[in-house]
Structure 1
Amino acid sequence: MTDLPLASRADYLVGSVIDSSTSLLAQQTHDIVKFAMGSPAADAVPTHTLAHVAVQTMGAGAADAFDYAATEGDSALREALLAELAGTTDATTPDRLTITSGGMQGLDLAFKLFVDPGDLVVVESPTYTNGSATALSYQAELLEAPVDENGLDVEQLEELVVRAGRTPKVIYAIPTFQNPSGASMSLERRERLLELAQRWGSVIIDDDPYGMLRFAGEPVPSLQEVANGEPLVFSVRTFSKIIAPGLRVGWVSADPSLQPLLISAKQAMDTCTNLPLQRLVAGFLREGHLADHLATQRVSYRDRKDAMQTALTEQLGDKARWTDPEGGFFLWVKLGESVDTERLFEVALAEGVAFIPGNAFSPSRRFPHDLRLCFASMPPARIHEGVTRLARAIEKVESE
């Protein structure tokens, strides 16, 4: 492909099918119902409130708002975030907290600190494409462990590790409203996973972008809370799903011994997270907007999930099965073996609906007949129209 002297790691840069879909959809000229990207709807972003806060925090007198920030995070955001999290399942302390440029930087920092080429890394199957891609970028060897309605199947994981003949260096898990399945790991499995990590000496990367978006069921303690200070748990969080994806502001909570390394690693990446947006998020938290915003969104997402499940029952009740999440953004849909969802993607796009094919969520492409739908990004009427278009596309693929 090129005569340039690329590093060997370049062969492991697989990119993201999900993120690539953004460019693909932008190129389309016809109407498309977008169930592909895992992002809030435009009307779910508190634009007017953020604009008001921006004037207050970055207006006249905020002379330093456009300067560099401390690498570990601006003090205004750190203080506001610590106060916001106090008393919750994600409560943390200053020596554990590092502000990041979105959740993806948190994942990159974690894999950078813990993974050497050839190390065994457990990923859920299916899992978040960008998470597994980041592990691969550090030349990890991936071990896929199945997910069911109770999240990561920890018992099968133990058997898979025995069969592999070596223990994992890292276990990458999305324990709550998992991407893409929507499933949540039970408390029993969280406790068992921590026991296994302690036995194996494995770091658990606890990726939880959706935990604050529970709209049904009973809360389950985060892996961070279950761990109760256990240094093997490295927690990654983001404001992308709960406020706005374009902020690119997140945080990690990790053992205090790691903070100097995190600062050094981040200084070699971006020096500091965008200071104006840190100040914007700090003001949003400090003025008490997050709780009201989350309350509104939980109601909206529950309604949208219900609308999608109703439409699926009407249109595909005899052809598909799907998950029933208690929060988050996603439904995982299983179709019959006659439907290849990568082929279906092309037909569906022409019909005016977009989704992510199941194979995108497995490094070994284990889900050719499954797909992920994001219900969070569309209002109920558009959801119904999108599922109708999807059903038409499935009929066309089945008749080919």
Structure 2
Amino acid sequence: MTRAALPPIAARAASVGSSPVRDILALTARPEVVSFAGGLPAPELFDAEGIRAAYDRVLAEAPARALQYSTTEGDPQLRAAVAARLSGRGLPTDAGDLLVTTGSQQALTLVAHTLLEPGDTVLVEDPGYLASLQCFAAAGARVVPVPTDDDGLEPAALEEIAARERPKLLYLVPTFQNPTGRTLPAARRRAVAEAAARHGFRIVEDDPYGELRYDGEPVPWIAALPEASDRTVLLGSFSKIMAPGLRLGFLRAPAGLLRACAVAKQSADLHTSTVDQAAAARYLRDRDLDAHVARVRTAYRERRDALLDGLPDALPPGSRWNRPEGGMFVWVRLPDGHDAARLLPTAVAHDVAYVPGAPFYAGEPDPATLRMSFTAHPPEEIREGLRRLAKALSGTPAEN
């Protein structure tokens, strides 16, 4: 019997490349590697005891509910707790404004699925969050980069590009951005909101790092501004403040878009894990998450400072980097002529790693840039990693 050829993979799937960050993590999984590559929370800081106790209580008190199918919108108690936390941080929110998602990445996927037709234009920060580029590519969107500077997205450039391109939405991470760690000032946030109102596009405001502030004062969400309240989707996550393995996120959106996202979620996974939602809701009732986050912030501040203190001796003369007020990342630019991607294998041979900056660009990449995460290692390991990086970048042969 002649066997016919199988149909090809869908073009939209075939066009989306693997994440370079995930590929680098696979290459640097050896325990001896000091990795500044992944944006990973520190596992030794997880409140494993409190989370285990929450699961124990849920399974002891209401096993039938915790192990059963649930509603698509999410656990009512968890949604109420999230709404209370957002309201307490300056964004009045009701439980009915929220949809619980399987991580905030699913929230972004649902928004893209709901709002975008193939060929629609999406504006993104340049450089910006790598997985958002994958998400929009999978949706068949046309991605247009908006230039940034040391304060983040440039309002004048946004105004000019929005007038020319007529985008459907703008995606950005305004607080402790991935990959740069930058925070968009309040005046620029208002300019973004006004541009959205003037040109008729939606805003997707991703905020996975907002509670990890070490210096300075909080800046109001774009979603809290009157000019943007009817057109902003806020994405949030428990991954950075509780545990990423729970895969719990949420989106806050105007009613019509929220309903459409709930329908899209029904077709994706029916609902997020019932038992994980119930355990998270129980944890928020029984434990003091704010106190836990304060402990995490203290540890991360020390790690950020250890990285910043060591960079002058680790990097070539003429290198530049920023000092983020929070989050997980420092953005570095090596001197002209350096290529961070080409130097990475040498660094890995010295048992240290980072992420080259080029993949984060939707426009013309800067090969001299790189991202360094400081959260996954304590200060003494960070200092050792920087010593290894200094040897790698200076051309010192790796030890066998």
TM range (shorter): over 0.9
User: Partner of 1:240: helix, strand, or coil?
Assistant: coil
1:337: Cα distance to partner? 2.4
8 Å Cα contact 1:339-1:394 kept in structure 2: no
1:74 paired to 2:71:
no
Match of 2:236 in 1: 237
After superposition, what is the alpha-carbon deviation per residue over 1:269-323, rounded to whole angstroms, capped at 9, x for unaligned?
A: 0110011111121112112421111111111111111100001023327241111
User: Partner of 2:219: helix, strand, or coil?
Assistant: coil
- Structure 1: 5+ residue stretches without partners: none
User: Partner of 1:281: helix, strand, or coil?
Assistant: helix
1:67: Cα distance to partner? 1.2
Q: How does 1:176-195 map to 2 (within 5 A)?
A: 176-195=175-194
- Pick the aligned partner of 2:17 from 9, 14, 17: 14
8 Å Cα contact 1:124-1:152 kept in structure 2: yes
Match of 1:38 in 2: 39
Match of 1:110 in 2: 111
1:161: Cα distance to partner? 3.8
1:229: Cα distance to partner? 6.6
1:198: Cα distance to partner? 1.0
Aligned equivalents of 1:304 and 1:293: distance in 2? 17
Aligned equivalents of 1:272 and 1:135: distance in 2? 23
1:215: Cα distance to partner? 1.1
The size of the alignment, in residue pairs, is: 393
Q: How does 1:204-243 map to 2 (within 5 A)?
A: 204-227=203-226, 230-243=229-242
Match of 1:153 in 2: 154
Q: How does 1:245-394 map to 2 (within 5 A)?
A: 245-316=244-315, 318-364=317-363, 366-394=365-393
Aligned equivalents of 2:396 and 2:110: distance in 1? 42
| Aligned-partner residue type, residue 10 of structure 2 | A
Match of 1:172 in 2: 171
Aligned equivalents of 2:61 and 2:219: distance in 1? 44
Aligned equivalents of 1:146 and 1:47: distance in 2? 41
1:182: Cα distance to partner? 0.5
1:64 paired to 2:82:
no
After superposition, what is the alpha-carbon deviation per residue over 1:316-349, rounded to whole angstroms, capped at 9, x for unaligned?
A: 2724111111010000010012321111111111
1:160: Cα distance to partner? 3.3
User: Partner of 2:271: helix, strand, or coil?
Assistant: coil
After superposition, what is the alpha-carbon deviation per residue over 1:86-137, rounded to whole angstroms, capped at 9, x for unaligned?
A: 3213442223100000010011011111111111111111111001110111
8 Å Cα contact 2:193-2:228 kept in structure 1: no
User: Partner of 1:268: helix, strand, or coil?
Assistant: helix
8 Å Cα contact 1:182-1:325 kept in structure 2: yes
Aligned equivalents of 1:370 and 1:200: distance in 2? 32
Aligned equivalents of 1:90 and 1:382: distance in 2? 38
CA RMSD of aligned residues (A): 1.9
TM-score, structure 1 normalization: 0.93
1:57: Cα distance to partner? 2.0
| Aligned-partner residue type, residue 146 of structure 1 | P
1:199 paired to 2:202:
no
Aligned equivalents of 1:397 and 1:231: distance in 2? 56
Aligned equivalents of 1:23 and 1:315: distance in 2? 24
Aligned equivalents of 2:238 and 2:226: distance in 1? 23
Match of 2:27 in 1: 24
| Aligned-partner residue type, residue 134 of structure 2 | A
Mean CA deviation greater in 280-289 or 59-68: 59-68
User: Structure 1: which 4+ aligned runs deviate by more than 4 Å?
Assistant: none
8 Å Cα contact 2:316-2:394 kept in structure 1: no
User: Could you say if the C-alpha distance between residues 69 and 136 of structure 1 is closer, same or farther in structure 2, counting changes exceeding 3 Å?
Assistant: same
User: Partner of 2:88: helix, strand, or coil?
Assistant: coil
After superposition, what is the alpha-carbon deviation per residue over 1:240-266, rounded to whole angstroms, capped at 9, x for unaligned?
A: 111111110000000011222111100
Aligned equivalents of 1:397 and 1:155: distance in 2? 45
Aligned equivalents of 1:18 and 1:179: distance in 2? 12
- Structure 2: 5+ residue stretches without partners: none
Match of 1:89 in 2: 90
Percent of aligned pairs sharing the same letter: 36
User: Could you say if the C-alpha distance between residues 246 and 365 of structure 1 is closer, same or farther in structure 2, counting changes exceeding 3 Å?
Assistant: farther
1:48 paired to 2:49:
yes
User: Could you say if the C-alpha distance between residues 260 and 160 of structure 1 is closer, same or farther in structure 2, counting changes exceeding 3 Å?
Assistant: closer
1:143: Cα distance to partner? 1.1
TM-score, structure 2 normalization: 0.93
After superposition, what is the alpha-carbon deviation per residue over 1:337-381, rounded to whole angstroms, capped at 9, x for unaligned?
A: 232111111111111111111012113451211100001111000
